[in-house]
Structure 1
Amino acid sequence: MKDIASVSSKRPINCYLDGSYCRYNEAIFSSDGKETMQLLNDRLASYLEKVKSLEKENTDLERKIREWQECQTPLVCTDFSSCYSTTEELQQQICSARAENARLRLDIDIVKVASDDFSFKYEYECGLCQSAEADISSLHRFLDDLTLCKTDLETELESLTEELLCLRKNHEEEASPLRHQLGDCINVELDTAPSCDLNKVLEEIRCQYETLIEKNQCEVEDWYHTQMEELNKEVISDEEQLQGCQNEIIQLKHTVQALEIDLQTQHSLNTALESTLTDTEARYSHQLSELQCLISNMEAQLAELRSNIQHQNSEYKVLLDVKSQLDCEISAYRRLLDEEDCKAYHTSDTQTQIC
């Protein structure tokens, strides 16, 4: 026993009491066993109370954690696949509607171009009709003038014919008595050389002049026809050139209108694509902000969980230290009990020997 006490008196014991460590020498245990037992009992009771209080705090902490977890929204990400599919379908419908709208605008523009073309053709035909009506009215006026001139010439011809008949009648009336008078008084005989027939000469001259007149008339008519043909050719060529220029102008107008329609369509398509891009950017930015908020919440929850885990780890380490100290003290307490039992046994044995 003395050896054990001497050995135990050299080794200190670390004790944890009310949150602080204490160092006791085992010599105290050997000096007064009852006081040591009382001290150990008090310390054990305080340790048990400390353990109960820690268990209660742990239970309260677990309850608070469960309540907090129940109050918090679950960390499971919301499944937006149905919303995405619905949104994609709506976007496809919007794109198809925009394409149909652009196609209808193109058809409307094409119809407008055709209407403008028909309006231009109608105006051109109206101009031609007006010019033809003006030509017809001018020809009617010219025909009326010719009719009036013909009537005047016929009237003048009738008057001249009547005057000629009157002159012939008067000439016959005046010449017939003179012939009778001359025929009765004068009988002139001329012995002259035979002369040429004057009527024949006049007829030949008349034929020559008529031939010359016909020749000149034919030449004039040929020249007139040649000039008219040349003028007609020039007019036809000018009309063809004018028609070609008009057709080219119409084609250029159609080309310009088609290009303008194409440009408007491209502008509409560009506007639609820009609107779609803006909507897509807004939608994805909203989704990104939601995801960032979710990530921030998850990071905050993770940081809180880490702090809770660290706090629990620190408490767990403290409890492990307390457990180890309790194990040490329980072993010391058990050793002291064994020593008391040994002392009691030796005392009873000594008393038995004395008796």
Structure 2
Amino acid sequence: MTNPCRAFSGGSLCSWEVAGRMSRGRAAGTSPERRGCGSPTAMLSGAYDSLGLSGAGGYRRSSYPSFSIDGRLLLPVHLDIDPDFQAMREQEKEDIKLLNNQFVSLIGKVQSLEQQNKILTTRWNFLKDQDNSHSESDIKAIYDQYMSKMNQEMKALSYERENLELELTKVLDTMDNFRSKYEDEIRLCSGMEYTFTELKKDLDVSSLHRTELEVKLHGLQDLMDLKKTIYEQELEELLTEIKDVSVVLGIDNTCKLDLSKIVEEVRAQYEALALRSWEEAEALTRRKLNEGNTQAATYGSHLLDSRREIADMNIQIQKLRSCIVSQKSQCLYLEENIKEAGEHGETALKDAKAKLVRLEEALQKSKENMAHLVKDYQELMNIKLALDVEILTYRKLMEGEESSMESPIPTVISAILSSPKYCKCFYSYSSLEHNAKEAFLVPLSRSLLSLHLQPPPAL
């Protein structure tokens, strides 16, 4: 795209040269009477006054009306584009395409149905034309025959329906019987299970009682052995005591001895001693037996308590094992759920990152498009301002031409410039035209600098 300021400068130069040539042509073709009107100095000053110039190389305030530029055009443009607008437009386009396709398919279906209708009507007309030979009686007979056939089929179907209903009732009855039997079996099974549990409890109680009796039997056997040993020891002690007894007898030779009486006394003493020792041994054995019974009772109660505790501990162990198995299964299930959740989270995170990247790319593209649009808008505004300035320049040139046609023509100054490096160029300018160009382009360049635009190069 060409620079609008350069285009303006080239166009303005061409317009200035054309205007100069036109003014020089008019000056060459004017009459002597017009040339003689006034001095050249007066005509030059009048031309300066008409263009708003004063002095040589200086300028005063222009008499032509000043132009103003709307300040709103210089404000930055805020192009707030809704990101959902394009998506909505695309969705609307897709919906319209879908509806158009559906409408086209419906039209095709309607056309096909119309064609089928036409084919059927033609076929019907053809069949009607072929069947004109048959009379109404033949048609009625055919109709009656068809109706009788249909009635027979209906009767057969009704008979078959009745048979099927009977079979259905039989099947339902048998199903009810089987259901009642099944319920009876379930009740019997539940009763047997209950009796089994009761018998199991009785068996446990009887086994505990048996163990108690066995413990008592072992205790009694031990007690009998203990008593036997005690009795044997006491008997041995008594025998030893009896052997060690020494009897000292005094014999009175003077008197007669009654040996029977002495033997009876000794026997009575020995019997009293044996009875006393027997009572002591029996009391000792009874005391030891009572102590053994009490110890056996305590040991039996402790044994029963320990067995009950063992049974309770076994039950608790089974419960804990089942709880451990269930907890392990729950742990495995939770680990699988955690793993699946982690995989889903990773996939969701990857999708979100991909969407974020796509959104960032779309945002970058939209920013680039926005920058291009703003740049194009600024270029168009620059072109518009340049065109406005050029239009104003042409207007001033036209006004200058009109004023020059009304005012006397100044003298034409021709200059020939030569250069050793380049070819010779002839420039023929009017002094008024040159000064008017300088006087117009200086304020124009200042106004363009105030508008932050590139001014045209000064001639």
State the TM-score, normalizing by the size of structure 1.
Answer: 0.43
State the TM-score, normalizing by the size of structure 2.
Answer: 0.35
Determine which structure has greater relative contact order: mean sequence separation of CA pairs < 8 Å that are 6+ residues apart, divided by chain length. Answer: 2
